[in-house]
Amino acid sequence: MVVAASVVVAVGTAAGMISALDDEAASDEARPEVTYSPRLQDLPVSPPPSSASPSPSASPSPTKKKTSPKPTPKKSTRAPSTAAVSTQLYRHPQSQVLDWVRANAGDSRHGVIQSRIAAQPAAVWFADFTPDNITARVRAVTSGGAAQGRTPVVVAYTIPDRDCGGASQGGAPSLAAYDDWIDRFAAGLGSGSVIVILEPDSIAQAECLSSGERAARFASLARAGRVLKAANPNARVYYDAGHSGWHAPGKQAGWLRQAGAASAASSDGIFSNVSNFHTTAAELAYARQVLAALGGPASLGAVIDTSRNGNGAPADGEWCDPDGRALGRTPTLSTGEARIDGYLWVKLPGESDGCKGTPGTFSASYAYELASS
CB 174 within 8 A of CB 216: no
What are the CA-CA distances from residue 301 to residues 241, 285, 304, 356, 372 (Å)?
12, 13, 10, 34, 31
Predicted local confidence at residue 82, as pLDDT: 58
CB 276 within 8 A of CB 7: no
Predicted local confidence at residue 83, as pLDDT: 75
Half-sphere exposure of 206 (CA within 13 A, CB side): 28
CB 357 within 8 A of CB 15: no
Predicted local confidence at residue 5, as pLDDT: 53
Of 10, 363, 312, the closest CA to residue 155 belongs to 10
Of 272, 193, 194, 179, the closest CA to residue 226 belongs to 179
CB 168 within 8 A of CB 59: yes
Catalytic center residues: 163, 201, 353
Which residues make Cβ contacts (< 8 Å) with residue 229, sequence separation at least 6?
235, 237, 265, 266
Task: Give the mean pLDDT of the chain.
Answer: 83
Half-sphere exposure of 224 (CA within 13 A, CB side): 31
Taking 50 as the pLDDT cut, the residues of the chain under it are 1-3, 6, 8-80
Predicted local confidence at residue 54, as pLDDT: 32
DSSP string, 278-300: --HHHHHHHHHHHHHHH-S-TT-
Predicted local confidence at residue 4, as pLDDT: 53
Which residues make Cβ contacts (< 8 Å) with residue 94, sequence separation at least 6?
38, 39, 40, 41, 42, 43
- Strand positions, DSSP E, the chain: 8-9, 54-55, 124-126, 153-156, 194-198, 235-240, 269-272, 301-305, 340-344
Q: How many Å is the maximal CA-CA distance in the chain? A: 56
CB atoms within 10 A of CB 26: 9
| pLDDT single digits (tens) 61-89 | 333 443 333 333 333 334 445 578 999 99
* Distance between CA atoms of residues 359 and 5, nearest Å: 13
CB 88 within 8 A of CB 76: no
Predicted local confidence at residue 13, as pLDDT: 31
Q: Supply the Cα-derived Rg of the chain in whole angstroms.
A: 18
* Strand 194-198 versus strand 153-156 pairing type: parallel
User: pTM of the entire structure?
Assistant: 0.83
